[in-house]
């Protein structure tokens, strides 16, 4: 459902005046904006936020935007894959806690700790926070593969 975007934290993040100053901004794509997730429990974990309007469900998009949003997610996932060569890419489109259309794109490695062999939600693990320089290095590695 389309709602008042003034109350949405993701609408604030994709605001043009804010997003390019964001320390974990990766890129603006056709209908979305990619940010490196603050929790780097899986190196390269990225959040891709639909940036054209406040929308909560994939079916609410017109076909052209829905297709573009999927293509944006594929482009970001391929860049992450090329940068880190994970065993598997996970894609999650939830919105339970933050009701705004966004993908969690998570590269998974065989060497992930045992508790991460399941979806990362609801498991006890220590979040991995990095310095601005370390986030910047990951962003640079992903951007190098965005075509």
Q: For 134, what's the count of Cα atoms within 13 Å in the CB-facing half-sphere?
A: 10
Domain count, the chain: 1
Mean pLDDT of 106-113: 87
CATH assignment at residue 70: 3.30.428.10
Q: 126 is in which domain, residue-wise?
A: 5-143
Strand order in the sheet with 46-50: 25-28, 32-36, 46-50, 102-108, 88-92
Q: Is residue 144's pLDDT more than 80?
A: yes
CA distance linking residue 84 with residue 89, whole number of Å? 11
How confident is residue 114, by pLDDT bands cut at 50, 70 and 90?
low
pLDDT band at 1 (very low <50, low <70, confident <90, very high): very low
Q: What pLDDT does 117 receive?
A: 63
Average pLDDT value over all residues in the chain: 90
pLDDT tops 90 at residue 83: yes
Region for 108 from its dihedrals, namely left if φ exceeds 0, alpha if ψ lies in -120 to 50, beta otherwise: beta
């Amino acid at each position: 459902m389309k709602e008042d975007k003034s109350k949405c934290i993701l609408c604030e993040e994709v605001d043009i005046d804010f997003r390019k100053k964001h320390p974990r901004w990766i890129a603006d794509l056709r209908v979305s904006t990619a940010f490196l997730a603050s929790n780097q429990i899986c190196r390269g974990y990225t959040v891709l936020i639909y940036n054209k309007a406040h929308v909560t469900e994939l079916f609410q998009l017109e076909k052209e935007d829905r297709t573009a949003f999927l293509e944006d997610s594929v482009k970001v996932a391929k860049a992450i894959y090329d940068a880190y060569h994970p065993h598997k890419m996970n894609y999650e489109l939830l919105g339970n806690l933050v009701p705004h259309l966004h993908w969690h794109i998570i590269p998974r490695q065989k060497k992930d700790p045992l508790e991460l062999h399941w979806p990362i939600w609801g498991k006890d693990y220590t979040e991995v926070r990095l310095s601005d320089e370390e986030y910047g290095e990951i962003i640079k590695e992903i951007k190098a593969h965005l075509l």
